[in-house]
Amino acid sequence: MSEAERRRLQAAMGAGPRVTRRSLLATGAVGLAAVYGIGCGGDDDDGGGSSGSGGGGKPSGTVSFGSNYSDPVPKKAIHATLDAFTQQSGVKVAMNEVDHNTFQEQINNYLQGTPDDVFTWFAGNRMQFFAERGLVGDISDVWEEVGDQYSEAFKAASTGKDGKQYFMPLYNYAWAVWYRKSVFQQHGWKPAKTWDEFMALLKQIQSEGMTPLAFADKDGWPAMGTFDYVNMRTNGYDFHISLMNGEEAWDSPEVKETFKNYATLLPYSQEAALGRLWQDAAQSVADKKSAMMVIGSGQIGIQFTAGKTPTDDLAGMAFPEINPEHGQDAIEAPIDGHMMAKSPKNEEAAKALLKFLGSAAGQEAYLKTDPNDVATNETAATTKYNSLQKQSAEMISSAKQISQFMDRDTRPDFASTVMIPALQQFIKAPDDIDGLTKNIEQQKKSIFAS
């Protein structure tokens, strides 16, 4: 093709055919309207009712189960428990397993999306928050059947603000100061009961070359356990719960006192806690590099088992007393369990599964494989408990008040967006308690007001 011809055709191309604006707009508009029109016309409700919920027949079919048991031991345990359920009732269970932390993070979307019939969750405010907003199913009728096997405290923790029950406990575990018996024996250390004794113990351990307290807060929540305890020991259980409910000021002298007391522990705790996972901290206790750790029996038990260190060597002391008025009355013992979706596909089977999980049989099945927690059902057999479980159960039953842990006792948005960064900031700079508490209070006001 000659140069001239090419230029000619090029020019012809440039002044080429016109597509009318109208035709384009029309197509686009029609397309958009079609897409959005279908979607936005009224709510796509699950058309009330679920298949298989008619009448009082025997539960059958399949029930879906949303599980956050991602660590190997709990995972095996829940599988064993669900297998036992299937054997007993003939109902199959379809598992939807998600990584532990991801499950919690996604809960909001999960509940409003397409949740499984039964799913794992926690007791306390964290449950009430979602129940209040109508996102979970009422299981008061299941509680009527098993309620007498539970103490009042458990029932209260499973009840929503409207008086109905929404949660079925599975197990709980005690937070305490755990240490290796053999290590203490070897060095002649004795567990402490009062704050002064505890401080002396920390000093002694440190002078003998071991890190007194294993400490990790990379995930943001482990430090809450220590805060809760220091607060309950300094100001009492009632004050602590009011604080969690947003009814006390965070920059009050009481809370500042708590932070001051907490700060005295930091020089005896592992350094660089913000870069360490709790699993590594627990491992340091197993490896005899640290002496003690404020953690739940469930967690340290799992870590010891994973590293093949015998959990029988674990001993727990209740968090030391700070203010004699409050003694060591309160214990932090988070309850893990399950809830039902608002509109489950198989309601009969879901309720049957929840009843099983809340029964002695179900809990015993679980604890057979995961012996790091204790049953919540009072009729569950405790004779086969190992040393760790016995201590945990003992501490829980002798406590006067039970708290759930900060991220379950307070609003989830406050716990994760305000308290996690705040506690991490505190660990980094424990001197500026005034500035820190003032800021927490400001943010708390804005969240609890909404």
**40 versus 324: smaller Cβ distance to other proteins:** 40
**213 versus 318: smaller Cβ distance to other proteins:** 213
**382 versus 443: smaller Cβ distance to other proteins:** 443
**107 versus 399: smaller Cβ distance to other proteins:** 107
CB of 323 to other proteins, least distance (A): 30
CB of 69 to other proteins, least distance (A): 10
Torsion of CA 361, 364, 365, 371, to 10 degrees: 170
- Residue 96: strand, helix, or coil: strand
Question: Per the structure block, which two tokens stand in for 151?
Answer: 């103490």
**161 versus 181: smaller Cβ distance to other proteins:** 161
Residues 6+ apart with CB under 8 A from 121: 107, 127, 167, 336, 337, 338, 339
Residue with tokens 């699993």: 279
**205 versus 317: smaller Cβ distance to other proteins:** 205
CB of 203 to other proteins, least distance (A): 18
Question: Per the structure block, which two tokens stand in for 17?
Answer: 């055919």
**Residue 323 C-alpha from the chain's centroid:** 29
Distance CA 115, CA 266 (A): 42
**24 versus 156: smaller Cβ distance to other proteins:** 24
CB of 276 to other proteins, least distance (A): 7
**107 versus 168: smaller Cβ distance to other proteins:** 107
Residues 6+ apart with CB under 8 A from 358: 142, 146, 149, 150, 168, 169, 170, 337, 376, 377
CA 185-187-189 angle, to 5 degrees, is: 70
Find out whether 325 and 338 touch, Cβ atoms under 8 Å: no
Question: Per the structure block, which two tokens stand in for 264?
Answer: 């005295």
CB of 439 to other proteins, least distance (A): 6
CB of 68 to other proteins, least distance (A): 10
Pairing of β 330-332 and β 92-97:
unpaired
Strand order in the sheet with 211-214: 211-214, 290-296, 175-180, 314-317
CB of 229 to other proteins, least distance (A): 23
CB crowding 35-59: b at 16 or more within 10 Å, else e: eeeeeeeeeeeeeeebebbeeeeeb
Distances (CA, A) of 211 to 269, 272, 293, 367: 7, 13, 10, 32
CB of 102 to other proteins, least distance (A): 7
**211 versus 359: smaller Cβ distance to other proteins:** 211
CB of 336 to other proteins, least distance (A): 15
